[in-house]
Amino acid sequence: MGTNNIRHVAIIMDGNGRWAQGRGHVRIWGHVRGSSVVSSIVEEAQANNLEALTLYAFSTENWSRPFSEVKVLFRLLKKFLLKERKKILQNKIRFKVIGDTADLPEETKCLIDSLTQETSNFKGLKLTFAFGYGGRSEILHSVNKFITDNPGVKLGEKDLWQNLFAPELPEVDLLIRTGGDQRVSNFLLWQIAYAELFFTKTQWPEFKREEFCQILDFVSNRERRFGATTSYSCLNETKVLAEKNRQIIHDHLGTI
């Protein structure tokens, strides 16, 4: 089986600081080196015909890091936007940033807004950066927005999804975390409910496109059952089957 059953990959790009410290450098050097990896992984996502790639660049918890490190992360985001803009436009990539970007420099916010608007109708890879992002905050935002817009109305799953930061994205099929830690760290908590999880010890600055492809191939061969007893291509298929079986059981409850 190829990778055509994987539509949306999310990556926690971890291990930059430890990679640098292990080589006698300050943590900041790892972020600089790690930023150069992003472009090659985006290219490989396109080559594998992924629909979406979401990258965890800066979490709400990362504000606790030293100011010098946070400042570098801000600068690297700006550098990426300037350096990759032409390539994003040429490849018809749909670019978006999710999270709280209020404290970013005005110039960077303008670059984000400009690129987001220019690519909003593109049909290529949906490239999303999670910056100033937290999964719990996103869910709370969605719930509160729905309650405000629909007072007194009961909230459903579809309603919550439609009020997420990027409702146009499909559910996450595969979550990759580099750096060796095995946790999801408040990333896309609603969207990864049925995602396959892959944890690699490779630190982000050393994460190569070859390993990315190997992970895609490996995970695409896993049997994904979504709570059923046989393989299905997506969660919606099993939801339809579950509702059908539930109705059958309900109709025959008295005979069981």
Task: For residues 142 and 165, give the distance between their C-alpha atoms in angstroms, rounded to a whole number.
Answer: 8
Question: Edge to edge, what strands does the sheet with 94-98 contain?
Answer: 94-98, 126-133, 52-59, 8-12, 174-177, 196-199
In terms of Cα–Cα distance, which of 206, 203, 197, 253 is closest to 10?
197
In terms of Cα–Cα distance, which of 215, 202, 160 is closest to 10?
215
**Bridge pairing between strands 52-59 and 126-133:** parallel
Task: For residues 164 and 141, give the distance between their C-alpha atoms in angstroms, rounded to a whole number.
Answer: 7
CA angle 5, 7, 8 (to 5 degrees): 135
CB-count burial class (<10 Å; 0-12, 13-18, 19+) for 158 = exposed
Catalytic residue set: 14, 62
Tokens read off for 128:
């999303």
In terms of Cα–Cα distance, which of 168, 182, 177 is closest to 128?
168
Task: For residues 27 and 29, give the distance between their C-alpha atoms in angstroms, rounded to a whole number.
Answer: 5
Neighbours of 55 (CB within 10 A): 18
